[in-house]
């Protein structure tokens, strides 16, 4: 009897937490910045937006997702994919391009009647996100902090670094370093609106204020990527080809 009461109490609590997370998700705008300041950036970000589209579709977040860009062509491409909220800010300098996220949050707060307390930022250099990642981010939101950020565990392989590209026959010491480092992976950020606006006080470099904020971290168990170019993305096509071959092999065994 007591076991049944405990089970149903736990189930009710779980449902309440789930409803709260869904409520929170519908109240927080999601910003995806797709810079288009040159042809290389446009080509990379158009391809990366496809991965972001799949994630947003799985989470059913189109109504609150905004694509941010300095390039109208990029925004038209986003609409072609299926995004329908866009924010265009023509940038006069390279610095403005680098801080489009802050500019977008600042303008959103000024122009919209609805003033959210938090914003979620998704960077396009990370292709893979699980639905759990967003849920974990929402669950970790805490008004005692300014930023909620995901991190990834990476292996320290610094002993294999080539310091001088002209010396490719460098004699590396044979070491087996197993220690792990924690690194902010930019897969997802939640940033407090007031803090983002405060960052804009330094218009030359808002990130200087950003890194003085109180940051709470949570672990990201998704596959880590750091996409810098269109060619980086295309490498995953071959990975997909190999994965399908392995699946075929498993089915044949």
**CATH code assigned at 243:** 3.90.550.10
Q: How confident is the model at residue 53 (pLDDT cuts 50, 70, 90)?
A: very high
- Would residue 7 count as lying in a domain? no
| 147-161 residue pLDDT tens | 999 999 888 777 777
Print the domain residue range for 224.
21-161+173-252
Scored b (16 or more CB within 10 A) or e, 184-206 reads: ebbbbbbbbbebbebbeeeeeeb
The number of distinct structural domains making up the chain is 1
What proportions of the chain, in percent to the nearest 5, are helix, strand and coil? 50, 15, 35
**Under 8 Å CB-to-CB from 27, ≥6 apart: which residues?**
116
For residue 15, tell me if it sits in a domain. Answer: no
Residue 193: inside a domain, yes or no? yes
Residues in the chain: 253
Summarised one tens digit per residue, pLDDT across range 163-203 is 666 655 555 555 555 677 889 998 999 999 999 999 988 87
pLDDT for res 214:
95
Asked if residue 98 lies in contact with residue 180, where contact means CB atoms within 8 angstroms, the answer is no
CB contact at 8 A, 179 and 156: yes
Q: Does a structural domain hold residue 203?
A: yes
The answer to whether residue 16 sits within a structural domain is no
**What would the mean pLDDT of 129-149 be, rounded to a whole number?**
94
In a domain, 166, yes or no: no
In a domain, 13, yes or no: no
Residue 10 is assigned to a structural domain of this protein: no
Q: Residue 65: which pLDDT band, with cuts at 50, 70 and 90?
A: very high
């Amino acid at each position: 009897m007591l076991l049944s009461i405990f089970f149903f109490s736990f189930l009710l609590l779980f449902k309440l937490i789930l409803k709260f997370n869904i409520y929170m998700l519908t109240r927080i705008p999601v910003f995806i910045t797709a810079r288009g300041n040159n042809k290389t950036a446009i080509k990379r970000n158009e391809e990366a937006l496809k991965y972001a589209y799949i994630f947003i579709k799985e989470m059913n977040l189109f109504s609150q997702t905004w694509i941010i860009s300095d390039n109208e062509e990029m925004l038209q491409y986003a609409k072609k994919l299926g995004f329908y909220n866009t924010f265009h800010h023509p940038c006069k300098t390279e610095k403005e391009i680098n801080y489009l996220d802050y500019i977008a949050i600042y303008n959103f707060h000024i122009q919209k009647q609805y003033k959210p307390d938090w914003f979620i930022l998704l960077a396009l250099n990370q292709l893979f996100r699980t639905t759990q990642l967003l849920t974990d981010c929402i669950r970790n939101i805490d008004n005692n902090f300014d930023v909620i950020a995901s991190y990834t565990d990476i292996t320290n392989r610094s002993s294999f670094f080539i310091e001088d590209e002209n010396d490719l026959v460098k004699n590396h010491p044979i070491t087996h370093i197993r220690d792990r480092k924690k690194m902010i992976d930019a897969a997802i950020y939640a940033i407090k609106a007031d803090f983002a606006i405060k960052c804009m006080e330094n218009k030359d470099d808002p990130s200087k204020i950003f890194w003085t904020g109180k940051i709470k971290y949570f672990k990201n168990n998704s596959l880590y990527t750091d996409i810098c170019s269109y060619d980086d993305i295309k490498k995953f096509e071959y990975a997909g080809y190999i994965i399908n071959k392995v699946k075929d092999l498993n089915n044949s065994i």
